[in-house]
Every structure is written in C-alpha cells, then in structure tokens.
Structure 1
Amino acid sequence: MLCKAANRVLNRNEPTFLEETCSRILSFCNSNSLKQGISVHSPVIKLGLHHHLYLNNNLLSLYAKCFGVNKARHFFDKMPHKDVVSWTGILSAYVKNGNHDTALRVFDSMLISGESPNEFTLSSVLRSCSSMGEFDYGTCIQGYVIKEGFDQNPVLISGLIDFYSKFGLVTEASNLFITKGNHDTVTWTMMISSCVLAQRWVQALQLYVDMVKVGVAPNEFTFVKLLGACSVHGLNYGKLVHAHILLRGVKLNVVLKTALVNMYSRFRRMEDAIKVSNSTPEYDTMLWTALISGFAQNSMFRKAVSTFHAMGVSGIIPNNYIFSSILNVSSLMLSLALGQQVHSRVVVTGLEGDVSVGNALINMYVKCSDNVEDALRVFRGISLPNVVSWTSLIAGFAEHGLQLDSFHLFTEMREAGIEPNSFTISSIIRSFGAAKLLPQILMLHGHVVKTNLYEDIAVQNALVDFYAEFGMLNDAWQIVDTMNRRDAITYTTLASRMNQMGHHESALHIITDMKNDDIKIDEFSTASFLSASADLGTIMTGKQLHCHSVKSGLCKWFSVLNGLVNLYGKCGCIHDAQRAFGEIGMPDIFSWNGLISGLTSNGYIPSALSTFDDMKLSGVKPDAITFLSILSACSNGKLTDLGLEHFQSMREIYNIEPQLDHYVHLVDILGQGGRLEEAMEVIQTMPFTANTSIYKTLLRACKAHRNIPLAEHTAKQGLELDPLDPAFYILLTNLYQDAGRHYLAERTLTVMKEKQLRKNPSHCWVEIRDKVHVFVAGERSHPRTNEIYEQIESFEAEFKKHGYLFQGIGHSYYHSEKLAVVFGLLNTPSKATIYVIKNSSICRDCHNFMTFVTQLIDREIIVREGNRLHSFRKGECSCRG
C-alpha cells in the first residue's frame, strides 16, 4: 500500500504536496516502527528530495529502528547535509545498541564538525559515559551543560541524576535534584530510581510522597521503580503501591504489569500475579518470562510448563530468556524429557549457539541426565562459551563423580584464556568438597591465595564451608578471622556444619558473633539456630528466636516456619508445633515431616497417622524420612499389622527403597508384636549388612518377651560386629535378672568386667535462664548437689506419706535425669515446664519418680531420649508406660 501511495505521489506536479505526503508517511511509519516506510526512500530520490534534511532525518530514524545501527550509519554517512537532529539520531542509535564507545566517538566528530549539541544529544552522551565508566568525561559534559545554559533543562537534570547514581554518588544526585527546581515527572522518577538503586528505600518512598504533594503526577515508570523497593518494605508496601496505581488511573501497560507480577511472585502470591497479568489483553516476552520465572521460584513447576505452552499458543516466539527460564524449571523438576523437548524447540528457533541458552542446557543435562556427554555436546556447540559455561560443565562433571575430568576441564578453561571468577572458584570448591577431594581443594586454595580472588567473600565462604564440612573447624575459623568482611552466609554456613557435627551449643554461640559484626540474622541463619535449639533442647533460646522472627518479619519464610515446627515438636510443645504448621500457606514435605515426627515422638500416635493421611490428600508425596516417622509411630503404638502395611507400601506404592534405618524400625515393630522369629528373618534376608543397632533392637524385644535363646543368639551376632559394645552385656544381664537366672546375670557381668567394658555414664542437660546445666550419672561436682539430693529424699518421703508404691533403688539417686529434673524444679517458676534432654533411655525407677512428682505438684516435666519424648503431667506419662 505504501509503495502504491508513493508511486501515485510521483504522478503529481506539486512539490510542496509531495514533500508533505512523504513527511507524513515517514512520520507515521516512525511512530509505529513499520519497515514498509523505507519504501519512501526511493520516491524521495526520484523526486530530487534527497537533499531534504527533514525527510532524511526521518529516514535515518526509521533505518535505526527497523534495520539496526549499521544500516542507519551507512545512510547517515551518505547524507549531504546534517544538523543536530541527524547527529543526535545516529548517536542515540549507538547508545540503544549498547555500542557506547562508538557513540562517544560520534559525539567527538559532531563537535569537530562545528555542530552544537542539544539537550537530547547530551543526555545520550551522559548515558554512554555511565555505561563506559567515563566519570571524568561525564563531568566535562556537565561543565558544558552549565556553560551553555542547559543547567535548568529537565532532560539534562534527569540525565545528570542518572549519571551520578550509576557511579554510586547518590548524595551528589540528591544535591543536584534539590538545587534545581520545577522538576517534571521524568526527573522525579529518575531521582526515585536512583534511591532504589542505592537501596535508600525510605528516601525513595519519601520522594514519591513529596512528588504527589507538589502536584507532579507519577507515571507507570515511577511505579515500576517504587515496586523495586518491595523486597525490603514487604508485601503490604507492594499492595499499597498497586492501590495507588489503581486510584490514580495509571494505564496498566505491559511494563507495569511485569513489575507487579514480579512483585507478587517474590511474595509467593501467584494468584494475584495471574490476576494482574490477565487484567489487560496485552502480553509481551518480558511478561511471559516474569510469569514463568514466578512459577519456577514458587516451585509451581507444572504451572510454569503450562504457561510456556500458553505463550507458544499466543504466537509469541520464545527468546533466550524464556528458554533459559523453562530449562531451569526442567532442572528443578529433574525432568530430562521436558528438557529434551525444550532443546528441540531451541534448535528450531536457532538459539542453540546462544550462550545463556547453552548454559541453561548444560545445567539441565548435568542435573537430569546420567550421561555427562549430553552436557559436553551442548558446551561444544556454544559459539563463545563464557565463564558460566565452563563453571557449569566443571561442576557437573564433579557432581557425576568424574572429579579428575573436572579438574582437567578447569585446566583447559584457563588454557583457553578464560579466567575463573569468584563464582567459578566457589562452585568448584563446593563440588570438590562434596566429593571429599581434600588435595585438590588445598591446591585451589593455594591458587586463589595468589590471586585477588582470595579477597572475594563468595570464595572465602566456600572455603569456610569446605573446611567446616571436613570437620576442620579451626581452619574454617582462621579464614573467618582473616576476612575483611563477613556476611550472614559466612555464619550460617558455620552454624549449619556445626549442627551436622552435633556441636549445637557452639552453633548457638554464633548468634553473638553475628551481633558483634552487626550482621542481621536472616531466614537461613534463623533456621540453623532453630535447628540447634531443637537438637539441644534449649526451648527458651528457641522461643527467643521465634520472637525475633516475628519482630523482623522472618516468620513468614518456609525455612523459619519449618524450623519452628521442628523445634516445638522436639521440645514437647506439640500445640505450638501445630500452630506454626498452621501458619504455613502451602506446607512442603519438610513441613509435614516435622509435624508427623513431632506428633510421633510426643506419643500422639493416632494424630501422627491421621496427619500422614492429610499429607497424602494434600498432594504431597511422602519420602523416606516420612516413613521413618510413620514406622516409629507404628512401633510406639504397637500397631504391628499397620506397620507392616506401611513398610510394604514404600516400595509398592511410592517407589521408595527402604534403607537400613527402615529395617531397624520394621524389626522393632515385629519385636513389639512378639513376632521375634519373623524379626530375625528380616535381619537375615534384608539387602543390607546388619549393624549393631538392629541387633540391639531385636535384643530389647527379646528382653521384653523373655526369649532367652534368641536373645543369646542375637547378642552373639551383635558382639561379632563390635566385641567392645557393653550394651549387649547389659541387655543380656537385665534379661537374665528379669527371668530369675541370676547366676547367668552374674556370669555375664563377670565377662564384661574381664573385658574391662563399662557403660558410658548417662548424662542429661537442662536449660535455665539461657544457661545449659549438664548432669552426669554418679557425679557430685555440681555446686548444688547437696540441695538436689535433699529434695530427692524429701520427694520420696512424700511418696510414702501419700501411699505411692514407689520402690526406689538406692543407686538411682545418682541417675542424671533425676538430678536434672530436680535441679530444674528448684530453679524455675512454680508453673514453668521442665525440659530435660537425655543421651540414653530413661530407667524405670526414674520414670516412676517423675510420674509421682507430677502427682504431688502441678508441673509438667518433659524428658527427651533420642527421638522420643516423655511428657509427665498429673501422674501420667505420654508414653503410657
């Protein structure tokens, strides 16, 4: 149509009309970026209008928009006349293309030609100075601006604010903003953007309030910048910004919709994100990318995939960002089939050589495929692999157990002239650390010490993690002490590794280190400290962490809520555990496992089993950890048939291969039900080599059912594995005594003494006013030992007075659990619950003692032995023993 219109123009003999018609066509095509407008170029030449400066400037702009900067430059060089618009047009084309070095050279040529720049020229030059890091050049431009009287121009004020902000000089940008008056929307928005970029969130919000007060209307870009501060101000702030958008009637264009989708996705509000995206029919690639990424970040993988398909149906061709996002979803889903389908689409689109897509493909094949050759093939197909490509491949080979090949690739990378960055080194250290490659890590440590990478906090944190994982805590702390700057990751890493090693008290001491370094406790460190409190049984410390998480807004994070469920479940506060669980919007497998485990250990067997059913109904698939709790519940509840049914369902229904710990629970279930021969058959036929734990489990069952022959056979099997384990002798001795075979009990004890075997003294600990007090069986070193013993004697006198049938054994005075409980009673408020942790099983005498104590006084006593809790209240125990 445009060609026909142009030809009709040639048949007219009215030059003014012809010029006007060409100008209108070019102006229309420029506004709509229509390539057909270039067809006017030919009539312009034929009509002899090729010297017409206005037409040429419009053609230059159209070439730049539709055919790129190279075509535009060719046209520019052929222009017979050029003015400030021509020079600004080609210069801004280079700036938009990211070719800032050439843009500055064009500006120099413009000045040499004698043409004076205008505010738009200078604004583009300032953008190039920012991108090139040319601070001195930019200040020279500012000097020119002042000299030529442009210092009140809003376009240049905005440009200078942006320039100073990009160099981190927000104070200078603010001073410039304050000293220049009559700002327009663009200038206000630029200043807000500068504050957001500098993380001056409160200042950004105040600027918006001031902007509205002075009567300057914010536009969609203002709100996009304000939404960038939501990560700190929280969801309510984001909703408030959204409300202002609606109240002010700001058009919800695609850019603003994308910012809102990103905001709601960050706070796990995908329903709101979908509502925003569907509020208008306009979609573009960035909005689709935001939706897919949002679903991926919130582990809604199926939604991410369906959104990817919906985008294809809409006719929008995926770009490299879209492909990278959906490939990352494939990696998180561990779906090789999906990844291969996306790979085929990548090939069809012609993006297989794109480095970002290639990197996502490498990551997908490394995570999802058993064959590293797939990842290597993709790597070889990338035209210019970057440091991320190499890092992904090297880490992938290490994760697949090909550590030697991984190290060779690291060498090859350096030979190819690609120097590793901090992410490369830290990734390799973590991969090699997971593979326990101590010599290679030490060599890498030596390499980074010789480079400036050693000062990088990511590398230092990776080294701290490596040494802590290997149990080399002194080496880890040495690195921490030499760090110029530490962050939450540094301390969270240490706390996590200390928890794994059982150093829970040391892990909690890290809270003080973080305070001394003025580092805020984040959601990850809070989760680690809650885990330490749970395992140590320090309920008061855990409650303080809970209070902190509420005040700091961390209590909405999955990791923190899961940590609270675990804490309260392990400390006997099952109602608090259920309350924390109820605050989780969409409980994951860790949430359900924590609650089921807590219910089981606290003796709420029916509730644990019904919670397991609720979990399955919610669509969350149980894992191996879930079944450990369920089998334990069946064991504690003496539900033999149900326990067998659940054990069989692991493989048959859920495709979970039982591990040795599951077989230990199975033996316990059969033993509790008196099916001892079947339990022994399980041990003999299971696909694992038996350990001492499973034999001791069966031996306890033999003791409960007084099956001496099988007990002797079981003890013999266990002692062949560990001849120095005194538990087998003690269990046999107790069995003989219960059965009246005292001479066999004496002989067993004699053998034990001849072998110089002694049971490790049991110990307990109790937390009083943020201090942990440890009590060891038979020890009298505690400064208040005499007072404790007097109170025990007083209790036993009361037992006799009330007619309780308590037959205390003399040496039970020395039992650690009794000492810890009485100390707690003497040193806590009259209604406070006593929490005691014990490293071994509570004895019958101490169990009776605590039962009777809670009949005398209105107190709750909670004793944890391993994963099981005894909650004593009003003369009853949760174990019903």
Structure 2
Amino acid sequence: MGIQDDLYLSNNLLSLYAKCFGVVTARHLFDEMPYRDVVSWTAILSAHTRNKQHFEALELFDMMLGSGQCPNEFTLSSALRSCSALGEIECGVKIHASVVKLGLDLNPVLRTNLIDLYTKCDCTVEAYKLLAFVDDGDIVSWTTMISSLVETRKWNEALQIYVKMIEAGVYPNEFTFVKLLGMSSYLGLGYGKLLHAQLIRYGIELNVVLKTAIVDMYSKYRQMENAIKVSNLTPEYDVFLWTTIIAGLSQNLLVREAVSAFIDMELSGIVPNNFTYASLLNSCSSVLSLNLGEQFHSRVIMVGLEGDIYVGNALIDMYMKCSRVTTNAAKIFRGIASPNIITWTSLIAGFSEHGFEEVSFQLFAEMQAAGVQPNSFTLSTILGACSKMNSISQTTKHHAYIIKTKADDDMVVANALVDAYAGGGMADEAWRVIGMMNHRDPITYTSLASRLNQRGDHEMALQVIIHMCDDGVKMDEFSLASFLSAAAGLGTMETGKQLHCYCVKSGFDECNSVSNSLVHLYSKCGSMQDAYRAFKDINEPDAVSWNGFISGLASNGYISYALSAFDDMRLAGVKPDSVTFLTLTFACSHGGLFDLGLDYFHSMEKTYNVAPKLDHYACLVDLLGRAGRLEEAMRIIETMPFRPNSLVYKTLLNACKLHGNVPLGEDMARRCLELDPSDPAIYLLLANLYDNAGLSDFGEKTRRLMRERGLRRNPGKCWMEVRNNIHLFSTGQTSHPIIDEINEKLELLITKLKNQGYGYQESHDKLYHSEQLAVAFGLLSVPTMAPININKNSHICLHCHDFIMHVTQVVGREIIVRDGKRFHVFNNGQCSCRGH
C-alpha cells in the first residue's frame, strides 16, 4: 500500500510483533524502520526486558541516547528493570541521574524501579533514602523494597523494613504479605503463623493469591490440615491454588489425597496445567508407584503436555525411580525439544542408579557438547557414579574439570569429591580435598567416615571425630550413626558409650538412625542387655530397628530369642524385608534348626512377597551344608534363578570340609577357581578338606601350589580394647611392647594343657595365631573378674577354637571372641556355638 514509512502504523506493528511473534521478529522490523521515535525505542527495549534479554536492552538504551532521542518514563522504567536483573549499579545510577535531570524523580513507577535496583545491588541506604520521599500510604514502594530483599535472600533486612513500614504508619496489603510469606520456608513455621495472625488482625481481604501463599506456607511444614482449612475459607479457586494444594499433599506423601484433589479440581471446571501434572508425577516417584505414574503419563499425552520441560523432567524422574528399565525415560528425553540442566541431571542420575555408570559419563559429555553447563547437582551426581564404580581415573578426570571451572568452591561438589575419593580407597586425597575447602559441614566428615567404615578402616573413621571437633563442626544424627558404626566394627565399648552419652546430651537419641546404630553397637560388643535397652527406647521401631535387634540376638547365640523377636515384629505390624529373612536363615543355620530355616526361606515369597536374592540362596546352601544335606544343597545351586558366584561354591566347599566329602569338595573348588583363581581361601579350604580326610599329602601339595602362584591369605588379625587403647595382634607377631611376656604366657598355657591331657597340637604353620596372642595378652592385662573380649576380622579357625575352649577350663575365665560372623562365648571348656 506504500504506507510502510508511516511511523504511527510502524510503531503499532512493532508492538504487535513483540507481543505475538517474539522479540526476534520485532527486532527485524525495528532495524528496517527508516524513522524511529521514543515510542519505537521504548517498544523494542521493553520487549527485550520482558524476554529477559537484559544486556541487549541496555545496548538499545545506549543506542537510543546516541541517536539523540530523549527517553520517557516508560523507557527509563524498562532500562532500570534490566539494570536490576543484571546488578548493573553503575548503569543504574546514570539512569537515576537522567530521571532527576528530566524531572521524573517523583514518578511513582520510576521511584519503585529505583528502590528495586538499589535494594538488589546492596545499596539499601540509598533505597531507604528514596522511601523518605514516598507519600503517606504509598504501600507499593515499601512492598517493592521488601520484595527485592526477599528475592536476594536478605531475610532480616526484609523484616526490618516491614517493621519500619508499620512504624511509619503504612499498613501492609495482600501483596506485602504474599512476599513476606515467601520467607517462611527459611525462617520457620512460627514466623509464618505470626504473619497469618497479622493479616487477620489488619483485616486483609483473603484473595486467591494470598490464600495460595498461606496454603503453600503450611504445606511446606507438613501442616496440610491447616492448609486445607485456609483454602476452604473463601470459594475462590484457580489453577495455582489447586496446584499448590496438590503439590503440598504430594510432598507430604499423601498421594491418595493428592489424586482426590486432582479429581475435585477437574470436577470444578479448572483445567490442570503443567505444574499440576509435574507435582502428581513427583508424588508417584516418592512412593515408587509405576502404575499410577503411567496413568498420569497417559493423561499428559491426552492434553498434549508431554513435550513440556517441567512435565518431561517429572516423567524422566518417575520412570528412572519406579521402573526397572531406562528405555521409557530415554524416550521421554528424546521428546523434549530443549532439555535443561534438570533434564540432563535427572537422566544422568537415573542411569547411574540403574548401574549404567558408563552411560552416565557419556551423557555428561553430550550435555556439555549441547552447550548445557553442569551445576553443582550434576557434578555431585557424576561424582556419585565415580564413587559407585570405585573408579579413581574417572574421579580424577572430573576433579580436573571441576578445578578448571572453579566449581570446587561449591560445598556440595566438594563433599561429593570427598565421598568419591574415600569410596575409591584414596583417603589421603579425600583429606586433601577437605583441607582445601573454605568451609566444611557435617556431611563432609560423615561422607568420609561412612566410606572408611565400608572399607573396614573403623579406627581411621573414629579419628574423624577429632578433626571434626577441631574444625568446630558439630556432629548430627547422620555423623553419629557413622561413628557408632565404626565403634561397633571395632567392638570398642568404651568409645561407643562415650558417643551414646553425646547422643543423649544432644537429643539425637530420639532419631531412629542413631537408635538403630546403638542397638548395632551393643550387639557387636556382645552386650545384649544394653542392646535391648536401646531397642526398647525406640518410639516406633521400623524394619531396620527390628532387623538389627534380631541379628544381634542371633549373632550372640540367642537363637530362640531371635526367632521370638521375629514373631514380635510381625505382631507389631512391621513388614519383614529381605534382610529379616537373611538374618532368620543365618540364625537357624547356626542354631541347628535346619527344617525351620527351610520353612522361613520358602515363606519369603509365598507369604511375604519378598523375592529371594543371591545372598539368601548362599545362606540356604550354608544351612543345608551344615545339616549334612550336601546333595540337596547342590541341587539348590543348580536350580536357583541366579548364576552362582564364588561365595556360593565356597560355602558348599566349607560344608564338604566339615562332613569330609572329598569328591564334591574338589568339584566345588574347581568351580570356585574358574570364577576367582586368585582367591587364596579356596586353596586353604581344599587343603583343610584333604587334611581332615587323612590326605595330608594332597593338602601340602595344595598349599605349595598356592605359594607357587604367589597367593597369600590376608593375615588373620585380632584386637582388644583395654583401658581405652586398641591392641592389635597378627599371626607370628613380634612387635607388641610386651611380646616376650605374651609368648611366655602362651608357653605356660600350652604346658598346662599338655600336662592335663588335652592333647594340644601345634598349628600347621608352627606360629602362634592372632587369637592365641590375644588370649595370652588378655590373661595378663584384663582384671581377673572381667571377661576377656577379643575381636577378629575373619572366622576363628578350628585350632584356635579348641585351644580357647581348653584354656577356659584351665584358667577358669570367660573369653568372648567376636569373629567375622558371630560371637563365641567360651566358658568352662564349652562354646556358645555348640559346634554349629
């Protein structure tokens, strides 16, 4: 039509493009316009600001000034908002000068923008000076400053401004309270309730926005009854209020109620949005309900939200957590046009959790190639994958990337590095990372202690307490649980009692994780009375509590009590899990209750819907083997739904050794060596089988073959706690401070045994075993009336077992040995294991 140069029409077209087709299309038109006025510049500048393209907005502002155009209040407002978003205080001050120069400093919109700028840029003095020019009753400026302080997480300053506002006689409105209620997540429920009381006192009208903020506040503190009560105070509902209610119910694991609220929402005629479906899918992930998640997935497809980033992220998380396969999550990922950092992190974490760590590493590289930079959660997730693989090469590779990107300043990432190095056995490197951290928290030290525990380095784990105290970091319930576990691993009763005292003083004895660790500690130290007291102090014992108690009774030889405790567990309404049945099978195996053990095993799946795992089959083989039912045990191995590992074959080989079945034992040894040819325990079991069967030549040949192949058994070690000191003993030891007195005592004991006709025979290796050295040291060091407590890192050998039984008959002392599986209480020539 030839009217493209009409400025009025061009400006209207520019506004149309900016609102309907996006900022890129609008910018093309703007660049082609031959004439531009203040309206043109303001339209394109505000379009960039609305689309969060703040750098481009400020560049346009400079171009406008360079073109000679004078900005108006709307131009200046958009420019100030971009300065606030970028924290550009210098540019903001220049614009403020322009505002004053143009005589617009009394404009309420610009004043509000300036207050927002100065507050977000830590210039609260300047912002407060601007408030001094506010007309009485101008709540907008006050609320803007409060809002800016809340957004920049300056909670105390926001409260101070709120108090000054009240003192100035300016009363809050619904928007003020919405902003203040946003802080309740950080300042506590009491603060939120106080604000709720104040808005009632001021007679603030409860519109749907304010109602949503109050509901959200109560939901975050698990006060769903109050949240629902507030939502019902007025009849107005919108999609945001319904979504807040559904999200609150989901976060509190009230999934049934969340689904019911979703149905009510639809019946009321309000259409759910993407956040509604994301909340419902998150609730499915929380309770691991794949069936419910798939139903919501179908609804998502019906309403066309499958490609939405928030819904897509929730779907990936749901499928990764609820499904045994990763294909569905991968398919959802491919359907998202622009995956964000949450999408990538959820996918990486999911593959790692499913055991595909290598895929996680590939995805991490693909994410970077796609231009998405990892955040602290992504980095901690990928380091978790390194830790699961025990891959030091991957850990060091990603550590290098973290240093390069300066992400090691983040405590979450640094803690994940500590965990990865400690999990890979590089404790020194983990300590080095800790030393380089600016700040440390309980998670830092808990990660290190728990990893040291997993690797059996309990003494080093307890040393972490000293470093933690020197650093001024207080123990929490998780670190206490790790330290109690370390004390249990060492069997150090005194250290454990000191930690128990700290638990009581700090109030952590009310936490189930700590209470469960106390039960474990006292059980491992052989003090079932203390373990029982710790168990009875638990308000609501869960499956972990019961399992720890039952296991403690079984390992201490109280088999009938352990089985009785299982009955009590069922009567208490606590569902047994796979660990429970592993413990029961162990108890029956070591208690000689073989048929009962079989009944428990068969009831797992039939009665309790607990699928047996490989460990359960290994325990069943042990039970049948101890009963002498070797052929039946062999049939179990051949028919079980898992591929047998070396442990299963070794278990039956040990049973063959006990019952003298050489042909089957040789077959088991052959199968073991095919799977693990470098395990010296297989050679020693086979050699002992030959010895017991009177084939000592074959036994000697087997040991010689082991030595020729350069294989050595890890030396058996024992340790004792005497007067808060740990004394360590190993076979053939010569380094203990009083080793000469220990050897003298042993020679005297052996002479007494021989004189009384006990037929003592020297061990095969002609050396004193660690158990013997510990017994002699105990007789020299432990008070006469006290039992001698010895801890061992592996099973007690038959030679030492017989030796200690005879010693108790000669010296009249009780000796308690905790080996790798159970307690042996020796007294008057008898052992609590009764040969089982």
Contact persistence 1:534–1:570 (CA under 8 A): yes
Residue in structure 2 matching 1:357, options 299, 306, 311: 311
In the alignment, the residues of structure 2 paired with residue 196 and residue 182 of structure 1 have an alpha-carbon distance, to the nearest angstrom, of 23
2:666 match: 716
Contact persistence 2:445–2:479 (CA under 8 A): yes
Query: 1:394-543 maps to which residues of 2 (within 5 A)?
Result: 413-414=367-368, 416-431=370-385, 434=388, 450-453=404-407, 458-459=412-413, 461-477=415-431, 479-481=433-435, 488-519=442-473, 521-543=475-497
Q: Give the CA deviation at 1:373.
A: 5.3
1:282-328 alpha-carbon deviations (Å, 9 max, x no partner): 65544544444445445555554444444434443222222222223
Q: Percent identity?
A: 49
Query: 1:90-239 maps to which residues of 2 (within 5 A)?
Result: 129-139=83-93, 163-167=117-121
In the alignment, the residues of structure 2 paired with residue 148 and residue 688 of structure 1 have an alpha-carbon distance, to the nearest angstrom, of 82
1:650 match: 604
Q: Give the CA deviation at 1:571.
A: 3.9
1:728 match: 685
1:22 match: none
- 2:613 pairs with 1:659: yes
- 2:731 pairs with 1:774: no
In the alignment, the residues of structure 2 paired with residue 543 and residue 192 of structure 1 have an alpha-carbon distance, to the nearest angstrom, of 50
2:38 match: none
Deviates more, 1:436-445 or 1:625-634: 436-445
RMSD: 6.1
In the alignment, the residues of structure 1 paired with residue 77 and residue 805 of structure 2 have an alpha-carbon distance, to the nearest angstrom, of 81
Shift of the 246–879 alpha-carbon distance from structure 1 to 2, 3 Å rule, reads farther
In the alignment, the residues of structure 2 paired with residue 233 and residue 572 of structure 1 have an alpha-carbon distance, to the nearest angstrom, of 45
Q: Give the CA deviation at 1:131.
A: 2.4
1:119-153 alpha-carbon deviations (Å, 9 max, x no partner): xx999986654323232344457778999999999
Q: Give the CA deviation at 1:644.
A: 1.1
- 2:279 pairs with 1:325: yes
In the alignment, the residues of structure 1 paired with residue 824 and residue 252 of structure 2 have an alpha-carbon distance, to the nearest angstrom, of 38
Query: 1:695-714 maps to which residues of 2 (within 5 A)?
Result: 697=651, 708-710=659-661, 712-713=662-663
1:558-603 alpha-carbon deviations (Å, 9 max, x no partner): 6555544544444445566566667777665544443443343344
Shift of the 156–700 alpha-carbon distance from structure 1 to 2, 3 Å rule, reads same
In the alignment, the residues of structure 2 paired with residue 102 and residue 205 of structure 1 have an alpha-carbon distance, to the nearest angstrom, of 35
1:452-472 alpha-carbon deviations (Å, 9 max, x no partner): 556655555555544444434
Number of equivalenced pairs = 776
In the alignment, the residues of structure 2 paired with residue 152 and residue 368 of structure 1 have an alpha-carbon distance, to the nearest angstrom, of 59
2:775 match: 818
- 2:737 pairs with 1:783: yes
1:494-550 alpha-carbon deviations (Å, 9 max, x no partner): 333333322233333334444455555455444444433333334444455555566
Report the AA paired with residue 381 of structure 1: G
In the alignment, the residues of structure 1 paired with residue 687 and residue 820 of structure 2 have an alpha-carbon distance, to the nearest angstrom, of 19
Shift of the 821–100 alpha-carbon distance from structure 1 to 2, 3 Å rule, reads same
In the alignment, the residues of structure 2 paired with residue 270 and residue 854 of structure 1 have an alpha-carbon distance, to the nearest angstrom, of 64
Shift of the 161–422 alpha-carbon distance from structure 1 to 2, 3 Å rule, reads same
Report the AA paired with residue 818 of structure 1: V
3-state secondary structure, aligned to 2:306 = coil
Query: 1:799-838 maps to which residues of 2 (within 5 A)?
Result: 815-818=772-775, 825-826=782-783, 836-838=790-792
In the alignment, the residues of structure 2 paired with residue 274 and residue 877 of structure 1 have an alpha-carbon distance, to the nearest angstrom, of 63
1:233-256 alpha-carbon deviations (Å, 9 max, x no partner): 766777777788889988777666
3-state secondary structure, aligned to 2:719 = strand
3-state secondary structure, aligned to 2:727 = strand
Q: Give the CA deviation at 1:163.
A: 4.5
Contact persistence 1:69–1:94 (CA under 8 A): no
Contact persistence 2:806–2:829 (CA under 8 A): no
3-state secondary structure, aligned to 2:623 = helix
- 2:587 pairs with 1:633: yes
Report the AA paired with residue 613 of structure 2: Q
Shift of the 317–700 alpha-carbon distance from structure 1 to 2, 3 Å rule, reads same
Shift of the 406–728 alpha-carbon distance from structure 1 to 2, 3 Å rule, reads closer
Shift of the 387–834 alpha-carbon distance from structure 1 to 2, 3 Å rule, reads same
Shift of the 486–755 alpha-carbon distance from structure 1 to 2, 3 Å rule, reads same
3-state secondary structure, aligned to 1:360 = helix
3-state secondary structure, aligned to 2:84 = helix
Residue in structure 2 matching 1:338, options 251, 267, 292: 292
Report the AA paired with residue 294 of structure 2: Q
Q: Give the CA deviation at 1:647.
A: 0.9
In the alignment, the residues of structure 1 paired with residue 757 and residue 512 of structure 2 have an alpha-carbon distance, to the nearest angstrom, of 47
3-state secondary structure, aligned to 1:773 = strand
Shift of the 88–396 alpha-carbon distance from structure 1 to 2, 3 Å rule, reads same
Contact persistence 2:313–2:343 (CA under 8 A): yes
Shift of the 456–235 alpha-carbon distance from structure 1 to 2, 3 Å rule, reads closer
Shift of the 871–173 alpha-carbon distance from structure 1 to 2, 3 Å rule, reads farther
In the alignment, the residues of structure 2 paired with residue 671 and residue 128 of structure 1 have an alpha-carbon distance, to the nearest angstrom, of 77
1:89-136 alpha-carbon deviations (Å, 9 max, x no partner): 99999989878789988999999779779xxx9999866543232323
In the alignment, the residues of structure 2 paired with residue 123 and residue 565 of structure 1 have an alpha-carbon distance, to the nearest angstrom, of 65
- 2:343 pairs with 1:389: yes
Report the AA paired with residue 327 of structure 1: L
3-state secondary structure, aligned to 1:837 = strand
1:24 match: none
In the alignment, the residues of structure 1 paired with residue 758 and residue 310 of structure 2 have an alpha-carbon distance, to the nearest angstrom, of 75
Report the AA paired with residue 651 of structure 1: E
Shift of the 277–471 alpha-carbon distance from structure 1 to 2, 3 Å rule, reads farther
| Unmatched segments (≥5 aa) in structure 2 | 1-15, 27-40, 674-678, 762-767
Report the AA paired with residue 498 of structure 1: L
Shift of the 550–176 alpha-carbon distance from structure 1 to 2, 3 Å rule, reads farther
In the alignment, the residues of structure 2 paired with residue 863 and residue 270 of structure 1 have an alpha-carbon distance, to the nearest angstrom, of 53
Query: 1:34-49 maps to which residues of 2 (within 5 A)?
Result: none
3-state secondary structure, aligned to 1:764 = strand
1:598 match: 552
In the alignment, the residues of structure 2 paired with residue 576 and residue 275 of structure 1 have an alpha-carbon distance, to the nearest angstrom, of 46
Report the AA paired with residue 775 of structure 2: K
In the alignment, the residues of structure 2 paired with residue 279 and residue 578 of structure 1 have an alpha-carbon distance, to the nearest angstrom, of 50
Shift of the 94–440 alpha-carbon distance from structure 1 to 2, 3 Å rule, reads closer
Contact persistence 1:854–1:872 (CA under 8 A): no
1:763 match: 717
Report the AA paired with residue 320 of structure 1: N
Contact persistence 1:699–1:731 (CA under 8 A): no
1:246-284 alpha-carbon deviations (Å, 9 max, x no partner): 899887776666566656655666666666666766655
Report the AA paired with residue 815 of structure 1: Q
3-state secondary structure, aligned to 1:352 = coil
